A and B are shown apart, each in its own frame.
Chain A
Amino acid sequence: MASATDARYGQKESSDQNFDYMFKILIIGNSSVGKTSFLFRYADDSFTPAFVSTVGIDFKVKTIYRNDKRIKLQIWDTAGQERYRTITTAYYRGAMGFILMYDITNEESFNAVQDWSTQIKTYSWDNAQVLLVGNKCDMEDERVVAGERGRQLSEHLGFEYFEASAKDNINVKQTFERLVDIICEKMSESLDAADPAVTGAKQGPQLTEQPAAPHQDCAC
């Protein structure tokens, strides 16, 4: 859903250099769970009920103020359709955090969460931060995935969990802000661990025990 107006908006945002750091976030999940709507609600505070399938990949830029820092977010919106999978997985590696989304009115999208999680493990870095989001929580009448099931699955996978609605603007901002926070935490951990005077450990590329993951030539 890369329209010209969006591009213009993105450019204005993206040329803004007044920020401290930049995080890259990827939104993944089955087709039509509401990834694009979620992003539009967050970045533009807009919502349209019409469904337009995302072609391949798109992104938006938003700068937020969090923990006394201006953080620029480049949020990648991916196509859920299987046929775009090669494109979207190529972008996993550049992402610091993920929003894994399912539709609470769609059992299949919930069942696919496990697979998406495996994809993240395969293609992304080890400390990839993931939030599990059950979207469309405004449609309580049509709910087929109970909130409890979502919470249990997220615990099992080690993700944090939100139920949200892009349409009614529920938990959208909170989701992104929480994700930013946990990426910040990881960042501090990473830096402290990297400080050899603190850990005394030799720092360097650790030879991986397992052979390198496929798609090694891809990164973003």
Chain B
Amino acid sequence: MDLSALEGLERESVLQVLQRDKVLRSLEEERIRRMRSDLQEIRRKGAKSFARQYSERTCARCQRPLGRLWDSGATCRGCSHRICSKCRITSSAHGWECTVCHAYRDLKIKSGEWFLEERAKKFPGGLDRHDTTGEKILKSYQNFSHIAIVPPTPPPFATVPSFNRSGGLQTSKPFTKSMENLFVSLTSHIKKISKSHNDVTADPALLTADSCSVYRKERRSQSDTAINWPFEVCTVECRRPSLSELLRQDRAEEGAESSPAYTDDDTSPGAELPLDKRGSVGSISVGDLGLLDPNVCRTGEIELGLGYSLGTSRLEVSVRACRNLPFGDPKRKKCHPCVKLHLLPDGSKLKTAVKRNTTDPVFNETLEFSMERPLLAGRTLQASVWHSGTLKRRVFLGEALLPLDGWNFEENLTQSARWHQLCPRTKTADIAVEQQNRGLLVRVRFSSSSSSPRQERRPADRPGGGTVLGQLTIQVTGTRNMVENLTKSPGCVNVSVRGLLSLPGGPRQSQEALLQEQGSGSLWSGRLEFSAVPAPGLQGASLELSLWDPAPQGPRPRLLGTARLEEASSWQRVQQTPARGMTLACPSRPAKPEGNIVQTRVTDSRAAGVPQHA
């Protein structure tokens, strides 16, 4: 059907009606969704629970023990469970049903699902509730319409969760039982996961597989002092398979390609589980694992490729695909993912298209940030995955953070593509603050020979006669988030600071000093002096300060972190206040696990100079 035969005004009129219908349908959708979650609640409360030793002699709904002679229970026609007399609801037509079967029947009525099932008998095309003509017309005419009837909301897709449809149409067994079986099979997986927790946390190889993510987690752990080992927590969360993944595994194990895991096979996986197994996983409940809570379980991976095009001065990010995403709408088992890219802390945002109904979307989009290469230093690429729900509601699915400092950009985007684990949200603000907070506090003083009477004039070093030489004094007054967590006992501080001053066209000077703790906390002192620094060259200078843990047991010292000072304006201010000097915060860069100073020349635009009185 199309509206091409209609005149413009007629078409607008029809489209308006369809738009109204759409609003109505999304409201209905929402109502049904709520009813479903209510039903879920009832089912979860009772149900033959895997969390408990299940006995024939208890009511499957309220778990009350049943008597042998008196109140011995009876089998529900709907779910075939043994039900006590209190959990029955009598319906006039045919005896009674248990509370869950009754609620399910009620839902079928209220959601209009009975009609969809009936209709499917005549039109077995497997039509979704909202795969409607109106929807199609609206979509196809969005671009042509003169008036603004373009829907403000993403079109609501099929409400009917697949398990319901399949439960209703394709299987003979009642829905409730299949759900319970699903949960039982889930627990066996959960048990596997819980076992593997130790492996994951114990094996450092797994953690260091991706140095970037390690760095990120490290930062998290430093920022979050409330939790002792967020490192571990984070890792475990990332490793937790999503519900979809479990279902997929289930499916694969059962070898049933055609039928999803939650449609009934003749032998239910739950029935095969011995009782003691059920008992052994007793401490884990579904709620604990947050399977029903979209805010807890975040898993999945994203494949990203990063490249930098020097010709166009663009950072190119190839968003290739995601896999094993959690459902953005777990109740309806829906996921319409899209990826947002953000150059933290203040860069622009880019977004991919929304892929519909998939937890393994393939985007293959290349997004470009126009930014000079040096400005990328200190920034973090945040790739967040969102579910685009109805009524513009977006659900956060997970994110990957890639610090761009010292990133080795490759020419070929596709070659550089790598999978990154998606992690729960890190507050964007935290990152920015963290990044700014992490670093060294240094007092920089530059005393040129003209302003310092003690400084000797050395005419030999003044070719051309005009160059003023001076002494650059760097005093490390404190560290922020660099040393505290790495040196365990405060009494035995053994950290040295190494400074490398590079002047444009001039020789490099290297100085090293031992940091000494002053009092408690993060107050330190260490002094580096660079002499014979030509004043005009200072504005192009680059000072790299690195912190080292001499680590006597290791073959070579361990790099804890480096900080850089090389912004021209900072140097300018240093020169303007020769006597007092000024305190600067040098933002730090991540410590590389291999312990090498990275020699790439990067400028940090965010090195904020805070003039203070000495």
A interface with B by C-beta (< 8 Å): 2, 7, 10-11, 14-15, 17, 20-23, 55-59, 61, 74, 83, 86-87, 89-91, 93-94, 96, 125-127, 186-188, 190-192, 194-198, 202-208, 212-213, 215-220
Contact with A along B122-150 (1 / 0, CB 8 A): 11110100011110000000000000000
Is the pair B125, A192 in contact by a Cβ cutoff of 8 Å? no
Give the docked Cα–Cα distance between A43 and B152 (Å).
Answer: 28
CB-contact partner of B125 in A21, A194, A195, A216, under 8 A: A216
A2 neighbours in B (Cβ, 8 Å): 13, 16-17
Give the docked Cα–Cα distance between A101 and B70 (Å).
Answer: 60
Is the pair A57, B23 in contact by a Cβ cutoff of 8 Å? no
Is the pair A59, B17 in contact by a Cβ cutoff of 8 Å? yes
Is the pair B23, A14 in contact by a Cβ cutoff of 8 Å? yes
Is the pair B123, A216 in contact by a Cβ cutoff of 8 Å? yes
Knowing A15-B27, A55-B10 touch, does A190 contact B118 (C-beta < 8 A)?
yes
The reply to whether the CB of B31 lies closer than 8 angstroms to some CB of chain A is yes
23 contacts between A and B (CB under 8 A): A7-B20, A55-B6, A55-B10, A56-B13, A56-B14, A56-B17, A74-B24, A87-B3, A90-B1, A91-B133, A186-B118, A187-B114, A190-B114, A191-B114, A192-B94, A195-B105, A196-B172, A205-B121, A205-B169, A212-B125, A216-B123, A217-B125, A219-B133
B110 neighbours in A (Cβ, 8 Å): 20-21
A215 neighbours in B (Cβ, 8 Å): 1
Highest count of chain A CB atoms <10 Å: which of B16, B17, B169: B17
CB-contact partner of B120 in A195, A205, A217, under 8 A: A205
Knowing A2-B16, A187-B114, A188-B93 touch, does A212 contact B123 (C-beta < 8 A)?
yes
Is the pair B27, A17 in contact by a Cβ cutoff of 8 Å? yes
Is the pair B169, A204 in contact by a Cβ cutoff of 8 Å? yes
Give the docked Cα–Cα distance between A195 and B172 (Å).
Answer: 9
Q: Shortest beta-carbon distance, B114 to chain A, in Å? A: 5
CB-contact partner of A204 in B80, B105, B170, under 8 A: B170
Is the pair A94, B132 in contact by a Cβ cutoff of 8 Å? yes
Give the docked Cα–Cα distance between A186 and B119 (Å).
Answer: 12
B112 neighbours in A (Cβ, 8 Å): 21-23, 96
A14 neighbours in B (Cβ, 8 Å): 20, 23-24, 27
B interface with A by C-beta (< 8 Å): 1-3, 5-6, 10, 13-14, 16-17, 20-21, 23-24, 27-28, 31, 77-78, 80, 93-94, 105, 108-112, 114-115, 117-125, 127, 131-134, 168-174
Chain A residue at minimum C-beta to C-beta distance from B134: A220
Give the docked Cα–Cα distance between A198 and B174 (Å).
Answer: 12
CB-contact partner of A220 in B6, B80, B132, B174, under 8 A: B132
Give the docked Cα–Cα distance between A192 and B97 (Å).
Answer: 12
A7 neighbours in B (Cβ, 8 Å): 16, 20
Is the pair A195, B20 in contact by a Cβ cutoff of 8 Å? no
Is the pair B27, A187 in contact by a Cβ cutoff of 8 Å? no
CB-contact partner of A87 in B14, B80, B111, B125, under 8 A: B14
CB-contact partner of A198 in B27, B94, B111, under 8 A: B94
B111 neighbours in A (Cβ, 8 Å): 21
Is the pair B122, A196 in contact by a Cβ cutoff of 8 Å? no
Q: Shortest beta-carbon distance, B11 to chain A, in Å? A: 8
Knowing A56-B10, A56-B17, A125-B115 touch, does A213 contact B123 (C-beta < 8 A)?
yes
Is the pair A17, B31 in contact by a Cβ cutoff of 8 Å? yes
A219 neighbours in B (Cβ, 8 Å): 123, 127, 131-133
CB-contact partner of B171 in A86, A204, A206, A208, under 8 A: A204
Is the pair B24, A187 in contact by a Cβ cutoff of 8 Å? no
